[in-house]
Amino acid sequence: MTIPKIKLRLGKTRVSRPVYPSEAGFVASINQQLAQMEANLRDLFDQVTEVSVPVMVQALEPTKVLAEYYTPKKTGKLVNSSYLEATSKGRNPRVELGFAKGGDPDYAVYVHEMVEIPHAEPTRSKFLQAALTEDLPNIYQRLVDGYAEAFRGE
């Protein structure tokens, strides 16, 4: 994953015609300090990138379980098609949560979207969407906790 560049600036970045004798040295000193801060931030951002995928997978695991709980289970094929995995697209890592990867079973979208079909509780249509909507505040907190844990080295 490409991390965006960060630049810190404070006033002038170079002096072509100094207003006072020490101005060039002062500006150079400030630039050197800011460059060190940029390096520190890049290191922090690298660490965030490194732990993001495992933190996201861990944060979404309970949501996957909730979605499976809501999934209709007539044959068991749909609920057993659930997945949560780390993948990548080019150089960019990503996390996927879903059902029926590759279209198997082929009726997954139909069962998810057909709200007029009655389901025995606790199953329902929109099972993935319902789980994500319901669990969103918990996902947020699990992300916060996951990053905090990763940075504490636990």
Bridge partner list, 96: 85
Q: 65: domain range?
A: 51-152
58 DSSP 8-state letter: H
- What is the pLDDT at residue 152? 85
Asked, for residue 88, whether it belongs to a domain, the answer is yes
Question: What pLDDT tens digit does each residue of the chain (154 aa) get?
Answer: 566 777 777 766 666 666 666 777 877 888 888 889 988 888 888 888 888 999 999 999 999 999 999 999 999 999 999 999 998 877 778 899 999 999 999 999 999 999 999 999 999 999 999 999 999 999 999 999 999 998 887 5
- What is the pLDDT at residue 3? 65
* Distance separating alpha carbons of residues 148 and 154, to the nearest angstrom: 9
Asked, for residue 32, whether it belongs to a domain, the answer is no
Asked, for residue 138, whether it belongs to a domain, the answer is yes
Asked, for residue 39, whether it belongs to a domain, the answer is no
Residue 63: Cβ within 10 Å count: 20
pTM for this structure? 0.77
- What is the pLDDT at residue 99? 97
Q: How far separated are the first and last CA of the chain, in Å rounded?
A: 24
Tokens 């080019």, residue?
A: 90
- What is the pLDDT at residue 106? 95
Asked, for residue 30, whether it belongs to a domain, the answer is no
Q: Give the count of domains, the chain.
A: 1
